[in-house]
Structure 1
């Protein structure tokens, strides 16, 4: 792949888009960015400095200081950070600051796979490929529970499901950059699909676009 190529992957939490994004970035040798980590980094900074999540000015400052090269997934993956991130992500000014950083990342050769909530609609509306990965709330809750139990933790399925439903409502209902599939996105419902099947389906879509581009 000799030209800049952008793959936008959107969808709700727990649908499997993160795993798919990593597989695709590795296969096509593209840069990878989980844009959700940028919002988590803002939330984490506020938490670390004991600042309230509704302090928009502090959130803007934290957003400007986010370094995409230093996003620590292990630290930022904490459940509390994710909950906080969904709250600071509703601020339009914070989103604008982070979107510019994300766009700069996407423009860096050889290209990138960006995983998030508004990549195909806002961050990279001209992406070469747009995928919208989804799954039922119940399936996503079950996956989250299995993930927690696999590392020795315990959790309540009902609480996880309620949390996912609340987050979906927040993400889909916000006025600025709501979660929704782009008009030209390819839909992948992973409710009854293993990651390998989703990966192969995505590859088929991408390879078709690349083949047509090579003939042009």
Structure 2
């Protein structure tokens, strides 16, 4: 692997971004940046403070004054919010159902883009995941992926994930949430979800975790062998 490289993984909810990014980072010996955790951390802070989630200016100011740290090995990420470990709290349902308020706020996104770029500069080689990584945050990334899967498959995955955390929702309810999330992500005014022009699109509907990681690692290896990586982080 080159001295420094940036691999972005964007995609729809439930497509396997987080799992694939963690596995690929471990395979490559790179850092793993879960940008969704950053939005969740800010959402948690806003909820705990009783902030108005419709007040874009206040949310952007809060984001600018907040310290978010992501530490740990891929698959064992620890998230600290202003020095407090919130790794478990950011996965609560109340955070999941309200994070779109922060994600759609342009001022918040601008702040987090700069934080994400700063983290990448410090990390060197990095595998970063989200919904705007290849299009906005790292437009010159060395390798870009866009993951997707059938909504029905993503709903089943999400349902199992919730059950593992002790949360139970019907398949119909989860599927409806997936469809609505897709609509919000793709139509929001600030950095809507879309594949980067140079992204490799991967349908993960019928893939196991190992198959996903193998497929992505193979493509990264091919690009690295071709000498296409930059020598400096963005």
Report the equivalent of 1:173.
187
Report the equivalent of 1:80.
94
Pick closer, same or farther for the CA change 1:10–1:214 going to 2, 3 Å: closer
Tell me the TM-score normalized by structure 1.
0.94
Partner SS, residue 132 of structure 1: strand
Query: Do the aligned residues in 1 keep the contact of 2:142 with 2:228 (CA within 8 Å)?
Result: no
| Runs (4+) off by over 6 Å | none
Report the equivalent of 1:52.
52
Partner SS, residue 3 of structure 1: coil
Query: Do the aligned residues in 2 keep the contact of 1:42 with 1:66 (CA within 8 Å)?
Result: no
Output the CA distance in 1 between the equivalents of 2:228 and 2:45: 44
Say if 2:117 is the partner of 1:119: no
Deviates more, 1:127-136 or 1:147-156: 147-156
Output the CA distance in 1 between the equivalents of 2:217 and 2:34: 19
Q: Give CA deviations for 1:54-105 in whole Å, capped at 9, x if unaligned.
A: 1223311221113233253321112221221112211111100100111111
Query: Do the aligned residues in 2 keep the contact of 1:46 with 1:58 (CA within 8 Å)?
Result: no
| Structure number having the greater helix percentage | 1
Partner SS, residue 68 of structure 1: strand
Q: Give CA deviations for 1:143-184 in whole Å, capped at 9, x if unaligned.
A: 111222334442111111111111111110011211011010
Query: Do the aligned residues in 2 keep the contact of 1:2 with 1:110 (CA within 8 Å)?
Result: no
Tell me the TM-score normalized by structure 2.
0.87
Report the equivalent of 2:198.
184
Q: Where do 5+ consecutive residues of structure 2 fail to align?
A: 71-79
In the TM superposition, residue 109 of structure 1 has moved relative to its aligned partner by 4.1
Partner SS, residue 54 of structure 2: coil
Say if 2:223 is the partner of 1:209: yes
In the TM superposition, residue 214 of structure 1 has moved relative to its aligned partner by 8.1
Output the CA distance in 1 between the equivalents of 2:215 and 2:30: 18
Partner SS, residue 213 of structure 1: coil
What is the aligned counterpart of 1:199 among 190, 207, 213?
Answer: 213
Query: Do the aligned residues in 1 keep the contact of 2:2 with 2:224 (CA within 8 Å)?
Result: no
Deviates more, 1:19-28 or 1:68-77: 68-77
The total of aligned residue pairs comes to: 216
Pick closer, same or farther for the CA change 1:95–1:212 going to 2, 3 Å: same
Pick closer, same or farther for the CA change 1:41–1:151 going to 2, 3 Å: closer
Say if 2:33 is the partner of 1:33: yes
Partner SS, residue 213 of structure 2: helix
